Homo-oligomer: A and B are copies of this chain.
Amino acid sequence: MTHSEENYLKGIYHLSKGGSVAVATNAIASQMDTKPSSVTDMVKRLSEKGLVDYRKYQGVSLTESGSRQALKIVRKHRLWELFLVEKLDFKWDQVHEIAEQLEHIESEVLIDRLDALLNYPDFDPHGDPIPDKNGVFKTREKKLLSAMPVPSEGLFVGVKDSSATFLRFLDKHRIALGKKVSILEKEEFDHSMRIRLDGEAFRISHQIASNLYIKPNAVP
């Protein structure tokens, strides 16, 4: 597989949310930052290779084989991201671009060793699950902060938007993975919320709240 083919598979995987839902040509084009006509071309090639199911005008979905391949790339991407953060002291907003390159390195044993070096991690620096050798990954209950009841509590476990600008915004406000969050109040008018974090209470906009994943505390 070429880098481009791998990138398309990964893109389709993300759009179909892992499932085998059909994805539209235009959706792929904007995901991959390319033109619909290029997508059609590539999708035909992938279909030839048995990696996607494609019916003209009806969208594409990953085959079993395509899905396996996509998961391998996702696994590599996330392992490399974690490596960069854990072993080379990168910040979580600096690793994605480099991992976009590293994910294409072909070596089964390299990835196995990396996995071992990192102690077989379950999640990447952004809280996304890392598939294991067989493509299986841990799931955990999580809700968007904006969808949490008032009052309630939970742990901050992931970001929906993982753009560098958003991540740096979170850094600035000391919002980091693993921290405990209490939901204090929700404003009807603009859907902004008051939360407590590190003992300190403050207000965040709906925009922010709808990009943070919270693992709700079990309520007995």
Contact = CB atoms under 8 A, between A and B. Distances in A.
Interface of A: 84, 87-90, 94, 97-98, 101-102, 104-107, 109-110, 113-114, 117
Report, nearest first, the 4 A-B pairs whose CB atoms are least far apart: A88-B113, A101-B105, A98-B107, A98-B110
Copies in the complex: 2
A120 to B, nearest CB: 15
A89 to B, nearest CB: 7
Please classify the interface of chain A as helix (H, G, I), strand (E, B), loop, or mixed, using the class held by over half of its residues: helix
A72 to B, nearest CB: 15
Contacts of A101: 104-107
Contact of A88 (B90, B98, B114): B114
B105 A117 contact: no
A113 B98 contact: no
A110 to B, nearest CB: 6
A105 B113 contact: no
Given A87-B117, A117-B88, A105 B98 contact: yes
